[in-house]
Amino acid sequence: MKAMILAAGRGERLRPLTDSTPKPLLHAGGKALIVWHLERLAAAGWREVVINHAYLGEQIEAALGNGGSFGLRIAYSREPPGALETAGGIAAALPLLGEHPFLTVNGDIWCDWDFSRARDVAQLLDERLAHLVLVSNPPHHPGGDFRLAGKNVQLAVGGSSDALTYAGIGVFRPEFFAGIARGTAMKLRPLLDTGIGLGMISGERHAGRWVDVGTPERLAALDRELARAA
């Protein structure tokens, strides 16, 4: 089973920090955000990781190399300027990800979800196409994205009191992206909404720590938090 770190975003909300540094290489707690992911993946037994990039992607490759220093093998999926959005980027990387279910992780989050759980999730997907990790709604996204009915992910409509936010962590079957022509830019949400409507997406709530590092202020707060915990 392989993992994919989504690292192609421009990071507009993090400017001016991202004017010269790609978002995944911004530091918190003394490490680049993407390094936290790589170290936790390696510790959980992962060996093969795919990273997509576009904006300043050469810096990501120069910083991480082939992954050997982390005990990993890293393959890069290079996207055109402007990138391909989340679903389009994953679809473009399918030749590197193989035929089995894979884990995806947004490169601009910090989360202590146990990556080793992804293997168990993959074995339990059965006829489902995806499994999403959801978290409590952060202050900047109070309306959430979805809700859970048992293990089934449903749409959160009308300000549902039990709405949750997609954590940017999921396990997917390659078939979920098979209808996207390679090189097409496409967001993930429309695919998720369709899959939810068909009852093809399961999920779970993560009660641990999760941070969407989307602004300089949230990055600074995470940096202070990790420094205190060190």
Whole-prediction pTM: 0.95
Task: Write down the pLDDT at residue 156.
Answer: 87
What are the tens digits of pLDDT across the range 191-216?
A: 999 999 999 999 999 999 999 998 99
Alpha helix ranges (H) inside the chain = 33-43, 57-64, 85-97, 117-124, 189-197, 216-229
Task: Write down the pLDDT at residue 124.
Answer: 83
Task: Write down the pLDDT at residue 159.
Answer: 67
What are the tens digits of pLDDT across the range 149-177?
A: 999 999 987 667 899 999 999 999 999 99
Instruction: Give the HSE-up count for residue 147: Cα atoms under 13 Å, Cβ half-sphere.
Output: 11
Q: How far apart are CA 113 and CA 127, in angstroms?
A: 24
Residue type, 75: A
Q: How far apart are CA 177 and CA 160, in angstroms?
A: 28
Q: Using the Cα atoms of residue 42, residue 82, residue 26 and residue 140 in order, give the sign of their dihedral.
A: negative
Residue ranges in the chain modelled with pLDDT below 70: 158-159
In the numeric block, the tokens 């600074």 are attached to 220
Q: How far apart are CA 120 and CA 194, in angstroms?
A: 24
